[in-house]
Structure 1
Amino acid sequence: MCVITSIQPQKNKRNVNVYLDGRFGFGIDLVNFVKLGIKIGQEVSEEKILEIIKKSEQQKALDKLLRFATLRPRSQKEIESWLGKYKVHQSMRDEFLAKLRHLELLDDKKFTQWWVEQRRNFRHFGDKLIKMELIWKGVDKSIINDVFEGNKDSNDQKSDAMLILSRKLQHLRKVPREKMYRKLFGFLQRKGFDYEVIKQAIDELLLKE
């Protein structure tokens, strides 16, 4: 058995150093420090020390994960990739995923709704490209289809297409009309717009010219 002889705060003020029999024993985060009731004069076994260190390592990993998950919404695949990248032990993964769900930080449907809104409003991407991105991020196709069914508006897609076309057109005014049409069509295809939306947007825009 060892005796806790001193407790000193670390420079980051989120952890403390615990000294056993006058020598450094281990560092621990404040959450577990309070939860475990660690105090000077307390006797701890080697088994207890290992348990404390394990809990502290778990808390450090969870804190890092929470920072990652709160920077922006994440898909479950992104979270699982993060857990793999930082070699979080399998025994902790289910617990961490459950914690994120409890905090409403892990929900692929909400993530998909957010992603669609961001890509449409700020990048002006077409639905085809957005769907491909979501598949790459590991979202189930049934969730993707449900979200797009609830947000189906071809007029919005056409408006987005016309908005980015009007900017592109500024650089193509001296290009022959047929070549201009091909360039605009290819540009919108790469942005992920459907054939009908592309055709309607270009035809309507060129009529105004």
Structure 2
Amino acid sequence: MPIGTITALRAQAHDSQRVNVFLDGEFAIGVSLNTLVREGLAVGQQLDEAGWARLEATEQVDKTLQAAMRLIDSRPRSVAELRQRLRRKEFPDTAIDQAVARLSD
């Protein structure tokens, strides 16, 4: 069951690394360029409930990864400390696990 069709992808005014996604002419979600490419989003693409859930999950992991990189940019941190700080920021455990795994690679 389709949720909607992507009708526009527009760069955000204040952050050139993010894009606004419009479904059926209405703003739906802002995503990073990484999420845009990873999910292969394009104008005219139909999103169903599973695609929408995958898009939200991918964006959550990317936000968690960006927060983790900001934390380790200030000083080196152990994996345990990084996880603890991300939990304090209320990121979901699944997103934290995936972000830490990407940083470990």
TM-score range, shorter chain: 0.7 to 0.9
- Equivalents in 1 of 2:5, 2:101: separation in Å? 36
Gaps of 5+ in 1: 103-209
- Tell me the TM-score normalized by structure 2: 0.85
Instruction: List aligned pairs for 1:3-152, cutoff 5 A.
Output: 3-10=5-12, 11-102=14-105
Distance 1:56 1:101, change over 3 A: same
- RMSD between aligned alpha carbons? 1.5
- Equivalents in 1 of 2:98, 2:60: separation in Å? 14
| Partners of 2:65 and 2:100 within 8 A in 1 | no
- Equivalents in 2 of 1:78, 1:44: separation in Å? 37
- Equivalents in 2 of 1:56, 1:50: separation in Å? 10
- Equivalents in 2 of 1:19, 1:66: separation in Å? 28
Bigger Rg over Cα:
1
| Partners of 2:64 and 2:96 within 8 A in 1 | no
Counterpart residue identity of residue 8, structure 2? S
Q: Which has the higher contact order (CA 8 A, sep 6+)?
A: 2
Counterpart residue identity of residue 29, structure 2? F
Tell me the number of residue pairs that the alignment of Structure 1 and Structure 2 aligns.
102
| Partners of 2:62 and 2:99 within 8 A in 1 | no
CA offset digits 1:28-85 (Å, max 9, x no partner) = 1100101211111111113211220221121011101111112211123321221221
- 2:41 aligns to what SS in structure 1? coil
Bigger fraction of residues in helix: 1
- Tell me the TM-score normalized by structure 1: 0.45
- Equivalents in 2 of 1:25, 1:94: separation in Å? 26
CA offset digits 1:136-162 (Å, max 9, x no partner) = xxxxxxxxxxxxxxxxxxxxxxxxxxx
- 2:19 aligns to what SS in structure 1? strand
Bigger fraction of residues in strand: 2
| Partners of 2:61 and 2:96 within 8 A in 1 | no
Q: CA deviation at 1:94?
A: 2.7
